[in-house]
Amino acid sequence: MKSEAKTVIIGGGIIGLSIAYNLAKLGAEDVVVLEKSYLGNGSTFRCGTGIRQQFGDEANIRMMKRSVELWKGMKEELGYDVEFKQSGYLFLLYDEEELESFKANVRLQNRFGIPSRIISPDEAKMIVPPLNTEGVIAAAWNHTDGKANPFRAVFAYANAAKKLGVEIYEYTEARDIKVEDGKIRAVLTNRGEIKTGRVINAANAWAPLINKMAGIPVEIPIHPYKHQGIKTEPIKPGQIEPMVISFKHGGVYLTQEANQGGVIGGYELKYGPTYDITPTYEFLRGVSYRFTQLIPALKYVNVIRIWGGFYAETPDHNAAIGRINEVDEFYIAAGFSGHGFMLAPAVGEAVAELIMDGKTDKPLDFYDPYRFERGELRQQAIQMG
Amino acid sequence: MRLNEHPILDFSKRRGREITVYFEGTPIKAYEGETIAMALHAAGIRVLSHSSEKHRPRGLFCAIGKCSSCLVKVNGIPNVRSCITLVEEGMRIEMQRGKEELPKTAKPPEWKDAPKFDADVVIIGGGPAGLMAAINAADAGASVILIDEQPMLGGQLVKQTHKFFGKREQFAGVRGIKIAEILEEEARKRRSIKIFLETSAVGIFQEGDKKLVIAVRKNKELLEFRGKSIVVATGAMEKMIPFENNDLPGIYGAGAIQTLMNTYGVKPGDRVLIVGAGNVGLILAYQLIQAGVEVKAIVEAMPKVGGYFVHAAKVRRLGVPILTRHTILRAEGKEKVERAVVAKLDENWRPIPGTERVFDVDVIALAVGLRPSIELLHQAGCQLLYIRELGGHVVRRDERLETTISGIFVAGDTAGIEEATTAMLEGKIAGIAAALKAGAASPEWLREIEKAQEDLKEFRSGPFGRHVLEGIKKVMVVRE
């Protein structure tokens, strides 16, 4: 392990790795990523795999539009297939109120060039043949949304970053951060000390602990909530291509893996704040009920896996991204509230630009880590899939 | 083909009413009480599915619900394990072709609360370990739930036609099938034991200070079992070894062949090559001959026979060659096994060119060892370690077989591969310990645990036991 580095990124999930890759791409030298477990184990490997641009606010729409561009080119750029597929996102709508709010979202999305639209239940059924459209009055549909394989994406970023000289240390936990006169001096780990002048907190659910180590005086409320996912045995791929979502059924989301064909998903049930991720029967039963309401034929399909993971939640369900003024060269990109995987390519690019160029054309102001302290919460982001 | 005459077994009482099922539209005769895979095999059907990527033909392999080689579609529903699902009159069975499409029409299921059952001790697995755990937990004063995904109790004992070794109180001189009958009778006559068959445990969750075991009965119905403690005795599954075409229908685990011929009276084939000359391979050879099947040879990669001398001598006397330092190179055949090619190995385990021999066989039996079925314990969060001496991943546990999760006990092959006698002794220990943990037994039952521990020690004092003891030492949790 290095004893000195220009930049230390804490957190080996897709956010930390995307930042590392983008920093190196912009010419940053001497970048180190610390992961206390194995890469992706925190939240990335536990995510719902969805990638969507159907948000209800300008900043998230713009960030996700850029992300999707990057996801599309990722296979070429990183030299590894991350199984990104633009299979769409389908929000099922059951009453006028829901429909009106989604119509407004679609208008906003269209303004930024996202081709989302409101479709009929029959069209929805054509997109997802085994769908139960009973009670559905319309659906919000965007065919340029999609999904990717989180395991492959983490691997792709990590390998591409390594090729550009980034050093990645797994099973290396940040235990303390030495700060003197408002300047970072070193990160202490279970494997020794790394002298450094710059730290990027990409620890998501554990980000508050890292802030505390550095003595960050700003209140950045991030709380770990346990969410869960399930996966079924594989069925013929292509039957449930898009991410299918219903708020009426407790925020259930599900889709089929692009290649293997297992159905994965979850719903809004959460526990916490907690660092426990033991799966629960309440979830297994709840998600089985909701899956089979949406896709009745899933009652014939066996569940093969259930797991827990974190939504690192902020009060407005948007991440805290930016520079911390009180400690020189301390940055944070955490609290993604369930959207870290999909946002990672654009966030990595934006944070790298901010560090290397001092500015970025991406709307990072929206994710201003000081907004909580100032009481300027954003409109709650749609927290889904 | 069905076996009707057998020197030891009488199949007529096992076979229920004759019924008709349909395979790919063709009517097939079957008997109530037998599984889909057995009925199809008896009708000469070997190919049950095609693999999802390369569309290779697949057939039965383990016959006890542990692999996914025999999946079929039943009445339009894919991914049904044909080896543990019983036939029903008029059943429409189709070959599974890779990953299947969902049925076109389906209504959301009726959603109601799952039936709930409570007991002091919930035992998963009704083989020798689970049955002994149930009987002893009940005798110690606990109410017991015993569940098994097979349609019958006894685990792998139900196909063991040979007589056991050991002490009289450990059923020495009694055939395995008879031991299964005795244990089942003992379990059934205890009112405090409730038995659920064709019920697959699929998850263990903590619920307050209770353990919740989720199970699915007959592939349809969700059941909830709550216990103060649980014993996991889910046995083992057969290992596979790599060789060309090792997925061809007609290549079975040794246990699957015993299930076919000893449990259901179905002739596995006409000419067999056995891979592995441990006790399982040797006993299998003898049983095949008993059932009127020709055993062409037994190949064994080690320089000498691994099983007991008496078994090997018996098999040799019957004219079966045991080829040590030989291995299987490949299976050949179009849709099922038609030939097996074996070769001699050099000192470095490499096949020696020019030593290939071809055997005309329609069955290849793999008797190459077992690995513990630890999936449920893994899901429950018990600590696991890979221990070669015990056959693979096993859980850490203490002297009373309690795992690293308080109230979850383990017994039998799940705890490490041995054999039925040790499984029964471990079942006894785990059953009583689970009853004590549940607060249902008085402390004097500790003496019974000590007795069983002594018996285990004695039984493991031989050379095979030393190997196992080495393994156990590595997983033992010492509690204060």
Q: What CATH code is carried by the domain that includes residue A155?
A: 3.50.50.60
Q: Is A74 part of a structural domain of the chain? A: no
For chain B, what is the mean pLDDT? Answer: 93
User: How many independent structural domains does chain A possess?
Assistant: 2
What tens digit of pLDDT does each residue of B90-106 get? 999 999 988 888 887 88
Of residues A278, A289, A299, nearest to B106 (C-beta): A299
Identify the closest residue of chain B to A298 by CA–CA distance: B102
pLDDT at A385: 53
DSSP strands (E only) in chain A: 7-10, 31-34, 50-51, 89-93, 117-119, 138-142, 146-147, 167-169, 174-180, 183-189, 192-195, 199-201, 223-232, 243-246, 252-256, 263-266, 303-313, 320-324, 330-334
Do residues A139 and A234 share a domain? yes
Q: Looking at the complex, report in whole angstroms how far the Cα of residue A285 sits from the nearest Cα belonging to chain B.
A: 10
pLDDT at A383: 67
Identify the closest residue of chain B to A262 by CA–CA distance: B99
Residues B289 and B7 sit within 8 Å (Cβ to Cβ): no
Task: Compute the CA torsion angle B154, B160, B166, B167 (nearest 10 deg).
Answer: 50
What tens digit of pLDDT does each residue of A307-360 get? 999 999 999 999 999 999 999 999 999 999 999 999 999 999 999 999 999 999
Contacting residues of A for B106, CB less than 8 Å apart: 130, 296-297, 299-300
Contacting residues of A for B375, CB less than 8 Å apart: none
Binary contact (A236, B99; C-beta < 8 A): yes
Q: Which domain holds residue A96?
A: 86-145+223-313
CA distance A341 to A339: 6
Contacting residues of A for B103, CB less than 8 Å apart: 297, 300
Q: Is A331 part of a structural domain of the chain? A: yes
pLDDT at B149: 94
CA distance B346 to B338: 27
Count of other CB atoms within 10 angstroms of residue B23:
20
Do residues A174 and A306 share a domain? no
For residue B289, pLDDT over 70 is answered with: yes
Q: Is A113 part of a structural domain of the chain? A: yes
Q: How far is CA B170 from CA B164, B176, B431, in A?
A: 8, 11, 17
Do residues A164 and A269 share a domain? no
Residues B75 and B86 sit within 8 Å (Cβ to Cβ): no
Do residues A327 and A369 share a domain? yes
State mean pLDDT over B355-363: 97
Q: In the numeric block, which tokens belong to residue B300?
A: 């064994």
Higher pLDDT, A51 or B219: A51
Q: Looking at the complex, report in whole angstroms how far the Cα of residue B207 sits from the nearest Cα belonging to chain A.
A: 9
Residue B3: which pLDDT band, with cuts at 50, 70 and 90? confident
Identify the closest residue of chain B to A238 by CA–CA distance: B101
Q: Which of B234, B228, B226, B140 is nearest to B408 (CA)?
A: B228
Q: What is the pTM of this model?
A: 0.92
Interface residue of A125, A277, A290, A300 to substitute, partner B, most B CBs within 10 Å? A300
Edge-to-edge strand order for the sheet containing B322-324?
Answer: B251-253, B363-366, B271-275, B294-300, B322-324
Q: Is A324 part of a structural domain of the chain? A: yes
Do residues A268 and A202 share a domain? no
| Domain CATH for A296 | 3.30.9.10
A135 touches chain B (CB under 8 A): no
CA distance A355 to A338: 25
Contacting residues of B for A297, CB less than 8 Å apart: 102-104, 106
pLDDT at B170: 76
Of residues A239, A281, A292, nearest to B212 (C-beta): A281
Q: Which of A207, A322, A226 is nearest to A279 (CA)?
A: A226
- Residue located via tokens 């180590």: A213
What tens digit of pLDDT does each residue of B137-177 get? 999 999 999 999 999 999 999 888 888 877 777 788 888 88
State which H helix or E strand residue B275 sits in: strand B271-275
Q: Is A138 part of a structural domain of the chain? A: yes
Residues B45 and B23 sit within 8 Å (Cβ to Cβ): yes
State mean pLDDT over B196-218: 95
Residues B410 and B457 sit within 8 Å (Cβ to Cβ): no
Domains of chain B: 18-97 (3.10.20.440), 116-237+371-475 (3.50.50.60), 251-370 (3.50.50.60)
Contacting residues of A for B98, CB less than 8 Å apart: 236
Do residues A209 and A235 share a domain? no
For chain A, what is the mean pLDDT? Answer: 96
Residues B391 and B372 sit within 8 Å (Cβ to Cβ): yes
What tens digit of pLDDT does each residue of A290-313 get? 999 999 999 999 999 999 999 999
Work out the percent of chain B whose per-residue pLDDT is above 70: 100
pLDDT at A384: 65
- Please give the interface size between A and B, counted as residue pairs whose CB atoms are below 8 Å apart: 60
A259 touches chain B (CB under 8 A): no
State mean pLDDT over B286-312: 93
pLDDT at B463: 73
Q: Is A130 part of a structural domain of the chain? A: yes
For residue B203, pLDDT over 90 is answered with: yes
CA distance B112 to A349: 49
Do residues A213 and A227 share a domain? no
Binary contact (A289, B111; C-beta < 8 A): yes
Q: In the numeric block, which tokens belong to residue B378?
A: 């893994």
Identify the closest residue of chain A to B112 by CA–CA distance: A289
Identify the closest residue of chain B to A291 by CA–CA distance: B108
Mark out chain B residues that contact chain A at CB-CB < 8 A: 52, 77-79, 98-104, 106-109, 111, 114, 202-203, 205-207, 212, 214, 381
For residue A232, pLDDT over 90 is answered with: yes
Do residues A137 and A258 share a domain? yes
Among the residue ranges A132-141, B426-435, B459-468, the one predicted with the least confidence is B459-468
Do residues A305 and A253 share a domain? yes
Contacting residues of A for B102, CB less than 8 Å apart: 130, 235-236, 239, 295, 297-298, 300-301
Do residues A327 and A362 share a domain? yes
CA distance B354 to B343: 8
DSSP state of B198: S
Binary contact (A300, B109; C-beta < 8 A): no
Q: Is A115 part of a structural domain of the chain? A: yes
CA distance B93 to B83: 13
pLDDT at B87: 96
What tens digit of pLDDT does each residue of B57-83 get? 999 999 999 988 999 999 988 899 999
Cis amide bond preceding B27, omega within 30: no
A303 touches chain B (CB under 8 A): yes
Q: In the numeric block, which tokens belong to residue A324?
A: 């911390």
pLDDT at B356: 96
Do residues A234 and A299 share a domain? yes
Q: Is A110 part of a structural domain of the chain? A: yes
What tens digit of pLDDT does each residue of A58-91 get? 999 999 999 999 999 999 999 999 999 999 999 9
Q: Looking at the complex, report in whole angstroms how far the Cα of residue B414 sits from the nearest Cα belonging to chain A.
A: 20
pLDDT at A20: 98
pLDDT at B367: 96
